[in-house]
Amino acid sequence: LYQAVEELRDMGGGLVVVADGTVLGRVPLPVAGLMSMDPLESVARQADEVRRAAGALGCRLEDPFMALSFLALPVIPELRVTDLGLIDVKRFEIVPLFV
Protein backbone atom coordinates (compact mmCIF):
# COMPACT_ATOMS: atom_id res chain seq x y z
CA LEU A 1 0.00 0.00 0.00
CA TYR A 2 2.83 2.37 0.86
CA GLN A 3 4.43 1.79 -2.54
CA ALA A 4 1.11 2.54 -4.28
CA VAL A 5 0.65 5.79 -2.35
CA GLU A 6 4.22 6.84 -3.13
CA GLU A 7 3.67 6.12 -6.82
CA LEU A 8 0.43 8.11 -6.83
CA ARG A 9 2.18 11.02 -5.15
CA ASP A 10 5.04 10.93 -7.64
CA MET A 11 2.59 10.83 -10.59
CA GLY A 12 0.46 13.66 -9.21
CA GLY A 13 -2.56 11.36 -9.04
CA GLY A 14 -3.91 8.59 -11.17
CA LEU A 15 -4.32 4.83 -11.06
CA VAL A 16 -1.73 2.29 -9.98
CA VAL A 17 -1.49 -1.45 -9.34
CA VAL A 18 1.31 -2.65 -7.07
CA ALA A 19 2.17 -6.16 -5.88
CA ASP A 20 5.06 -7.08 -3.61
CA GLY A 21 6.53 -3.59 -3.97
CA THR A 22 6.53 -3.75 -7.78
CA VAL A 23 4.42 -1.42 -9.91
CA LEU A 24 2.49 -3.61 -12.36
CA GLY A 25 0.55 -0.84 -14.07
CA ARG A 26 0.06 2.90 -13.82
CA VAL A 27 -1.99 5.68 -15.38
CA PRO A 28 -0.64 9.11 -14.45
CA LEU A 29 -3.49 11.63 -14.16
CA PRO A 30 -1.68 14.80 -13.09
CA VAL A 31 -4.45 17.28 -13.95
CA ALA A 32 -6.31 17.50 -10.63
CA GLY A 33 -5.55 13.80 -10.14
CA LEU A 34 -8.33 13.07 -12.64
CA MET A 35 -7.14 13.88 -16.15
CA SER A 36 -4.14 13.56 -18.43
CA MET A 37 -2.74 15.76 -21.17
CA ASP A 38 -1.29 12.68 -22.90
CA PRO A 39 -2.80 11.39 -26.16
CA LEU A 40 -5.96 9.32 -25.77
CA GLU A 41 -4.28 6.22 -27.24
CA SER A 42 -1.52 6.36 -24.63
CA VAL A 43 -3.91 6.78 -21.71
CA ALA A 44 -6.18 4.02 -23.05
CA ARG A 45 -3.20 1.65 -23.34
CA GLN A 46 -2.14 2.44 -19.76
CA ALA A 47 -5.72 1.95 -18.52
CA ASP A 48 -5.82 -1.47 -20.19
CA GLU A 49 -2.55 -2.35 -18.45
CA VAL A 50 -3.87 -1.49 -14.98
CA ARG A 51 -7.10 -3.43 -15.60
CA ARG A 52 -5.10 -6.47 -16.72
CA ALA A 53 -2.74 -6.12 -13.75
CA ALA A 54 -5.69 -5.98 -11.33
CA GLY A 55 -7.17 -9.05 -13.01
CA ALA A 56 -3.87 -10.90 -12.72
CA LEU A 57 -3.99 -10.25 -8.98
CA GLY A 58 -7.43 -11.86 -8.73
CA CYS A 59 -9.82 -8.95 -9.25
CA ARG A 60 -12.89 -10.25 -11.10
CA LEU A 61 -14.46 -6.88 -11.86
CA GLU A 62 -14.36 -5.83 -15.50
CA ASP A 63 -13.19 -2.32 -14.58
CA PRO A 64 -12.36 -2.06 -10.87
CA PHE A 65 -11.11 1.51 -11.13
CA MET A 66 -14.41 2.71 -12.59
CA ALA A 67 -16.25 0.95 -9.76
CA LEU A 68 -14.05 2.74 -7.22
CA SER A 69 -14.58 6.06 -8.99
CA PHE A 70 -18.35 5.75 -8.71
CA LEU A 71 -18.13 4.75 -5.04
CA ALA A 72 -17.06 8.28 -4.12
CA LEU A 73 -19.25 10.12 -6.64
CA PRO A 74 -21.76 11.88 -4.37
CA VAL A 75 -24.46 12.49 -7.00
CA ILE A 76 -25.35 8.84 -7.63
CA PRO A 77 -27.91 7.47 -5.12
CA GLU A 78 -28.11 6.15 -2.43
CA LEU A 79 -25.12 6.11 -0.08
CA ARG A 80 -21.71 7.47 -1.01
CA VAL A 81 -18.41 7.94 0.74
CA THR A 82 -17.15 11.53 0.54
CA ASP A 83 -14.62 13.68 2.35
CA LEU A 84 -17.43 14.48 4.80
CA GLY A 85 -18.12 10.82 5.56
CA LEU A 86 -21.00 8.55 4.54
CA ILE A 87 -23.71 10.57 2.78
CA ASP A 88 -27.34 9.67 2.05
CA VAL A 89 -27.53 11.49 -1.27
CA LYS A 90 -31.31 11.18 -1.56
CA ARG A 91 -31.76 13.09 1.70
CA PHE A 92 -28.51 15.10 1.46
CA GLU A 93 -27.62 14.08 5.01
CA ILE A 94 -24.53 12.71 6.68
CA VAL A 95 -25.20 9.18 7.91
CA PRO A 96 -23.83 8.57 11.41
CA LEU A 97 -21.39 5.68 11.49
CA PHE A 98 -21.97 4.96 15.17
CA VAL A 99 -25.32 4.84 16.93
Residue 17: Cβ within 10 Å count: 24
Query: What's the pTM?
Result: 0.72
Q: How do the pLDDT tens digits run along the chain, 99 residues long?
A: 999 999 999 999 999 999 999 999 999 999 988 899 999 999 999 999 999 999 999 999 889 998 888 776 767 778 888 888 888 888 889 988 886
pLDDT of residue 99: 65
Would you give the distance in Å from CA 59 to the centre of its chain?
A: 14
